[in-house]
């Protein structure tokens, strides 16, 4: 038997303007169950789930630039953060330019 999880939870919104290829950490005040990353800028954005992956520039998902194919420039999925290496998220622009993002994290309960 499988358990179906909905997108419920307390939302926490982080907006980052001027995000570069150097990237930055997104510290969250709680553990998450679901994340939506909206790219509102001119360059794609990479979302990393561990510091090691961020440093090594591997194992990431991309929020594309909004276009006819991707009208919201969005990546969304279940992301459960936990204590230790998986407690925060990291983001960076996919190329040398800058971009703007909106990250919505939903609090995991229980």
- Domain ranges for the chain, please list them: 11-107
Give the pLDDT of residue 1: 42
Q: What does the block give as tokens for 70? A: 């991707």
Q: Whole-model pTM? A: 0.88
The torsion defined by the Cα of 70, 71, 73 and 79, in degrees rounded to 10, comes to -80
Within 13 Å of residue 7, how many CA atoms lie on the same side as its CB? 8
Q: Is the pLDDT of residue 3 over 60?
A: no
**Per-residue confidence band for 78, with pLDDT thresholds at 50, 70 and 90:** very high
Give the pLDDT of residue 8: 63
Tens digits of residue pLDDT in 29-60: 999 999 999 999 999 999 999 999 999 999 99
- Cα–Cα distance, 39 to 37 (Å, whole number): 7
Give the pLDDT of residue 84: 82
**Per-residue confidence band for 97, with pLDDT thresholds at 50, 70 and 90:** confident
What's the topology of domain 11-107?
Jelly Rolls (2.60.120)
């Amino acid at each position: 038997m499988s358990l179906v999880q909905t997108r419920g939870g307390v939302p926490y919104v982080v907006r980052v303007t001027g995000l570069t290829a150097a990237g930055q950490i997104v510290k969250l005040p709680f553990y998450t169950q679901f994340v939506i990353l909206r790219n509102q800028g001119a360059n794609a954005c990479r979302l990393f789930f561990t510091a090691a992956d961020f440093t090594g520039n591997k194992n990431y998902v991309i929020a594309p630039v909004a276009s006819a194919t991707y009208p919201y420039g969005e990546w969304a999925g279940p992301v459960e953060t936990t204590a230790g290496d998986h407690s925060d998220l990291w983001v960076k622009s996919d190329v040398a330019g800058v971009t703007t993002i909106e990250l919505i994290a939903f609090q995991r309960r229980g």
